[in-house]
Amino acid sequence: MDYSHIQKPDRGYRYEFTLDELNAAQNCVEAHGFAIVKNVLTDKLVEELQDSVQQVLDPDNTLGEGNSYTHGSFIEQSPAMWKLLDHEPFMRAQQVFCQAEELTINRSAAILRNPGSAPLAWHSDFCGFSNGPRTFSGDVLNRGPWPSGLWFYITGSHPKHGGLAVIEDSHLEDFVAPQGFQFTPDRRSFHPLGTEPHRHVGFDVPGIVPIFTDPGDEIVFASRTFHAAFPNRIDRVRLSCAIIFRAREHTLDAPWPLSADAQAFIEAFPQRWQPLLENYVGIDSDWSGDEAMMG
């Protein structure tokens, strides 16, 4: 499918804001589940982050056409990401979106999507729809009320370039699956009524808002907001990265030990930012549940 014809939608409400309008942006996240803040990063930070994502995720440029790579603890490897923490407009914005003065780094990520890479199916990152036992790292890290998306699409977000799409109002607790769709059993995705319960891939969904951003813009979405990514159909690599913070008062009880990389990161992290690592738990993507730990 070719998505280059898709235009920036007019939803009848504003969802793009400047750094002087952070409270209005947060109100939009609360009302509609997402918002965009324009020009949070300087051009220099954008360039440094682009280089860093490329270097950490695919240093020798061997990933190959059509492929993607996601790094689940990017800040541990990327001193360029650390620079965001000294960028006052960035930190001020994250305090507003986490509704707290005191923040902890919950997780971080970077994604590289080469030309020709596939779309990403609709899903919510939130793992608290059921109260069952934890079975993977997302159950530990994505079960609270903090934002799921604090992303920078540092080569821009566009439907033809592997950009993001969200479903407006899908962050609400009483959200029902879009018309013509039903939730998958875990409620973290949906599929057309009467079909097998596979996460839906496609952009024919009621309520969709395709996101258009420039490289320095921040894309914010709420804990439960449903989102997907378009395929990358242009000849430039798509790069994105994020630090997801949570209010420090939300403590986590991680079932895995800190990895050697996480420990090295904490030790190398400058003193002035150490409070941001209070209760930082890193991630163990291979962890498969509390029960497996006991057995």
Interacting residues toward Fe ion by CB under 5 A: 125
199, burial (CB in 10 Å: exposed 0-12, middle 13-18, buried 19+): middle
Kindly tell me which of 22 and 161 has the beta carbon lying closer to ligand AKG.
Answer: 161
Please count the residues of this chain forming the interface with ligand AKG, following the rule CB under 6 A: 8
CA distance 276 to 264: 15
Site string for ligand AKG, 32-51 (x = CB under 6 A): --------------------
Contact between 6 and 235 (Cβ < 8 Å): no
C-beta of 261: minimal distance to Fe ion in Å? 23
C-beta of 61: minimal distance to Fe ion in Å? 26
Number of Cβ within a 10 Å radius of residue 72: 17
**Which 3 state secondary structure label does DSSP give 61?**
coil
Judged by beta carbon distances under 5 to 8 A according to partner kind, the member of ligand AKG, Fe ion, none in contact with residue 229 is: ligand AKG
Contact between 4 and 160 (Cβ < 8 Å): yes
Say which DSSP state 153 is in: -
CA distance 108 to 34: 19
Kindly tell me which of 246 and 269 has the beta carbon lying closer to Fe ion.
Answer: 246
Identify the residue among 98, 229, 241, 276 touching ligand AKG (CB under 6 A).
229
Q: Which of 125, 206, 120, 201 is nearest to 164 (CA)?
A: 120
Identify the residue among 48, 76, 125, 139 touching ligand AKG (CB under 6 A).
125
Residues 148-177 that bind ligand AKG (CB under 6 A): 164
C-beta of 162: minimal distance to ligand AKG in Å? 6
Kindly tell me which of 26 and 108 has the beta carbon lying closer to ligand AKG.
Answer: 108
Torsion-angle region of residue 99: left (phi > 0), alpha (psi -120 to 50) or beta? left
Judged by beta carbon distances under 5 to 8 A according to partner kind, the member of Fe ion, ligand AKG, none in contact with residue 25 is: none
Interface positions with ligand AKG (CB under 6 A): 70, 111, 120, 125, 164, 227, 229, 240
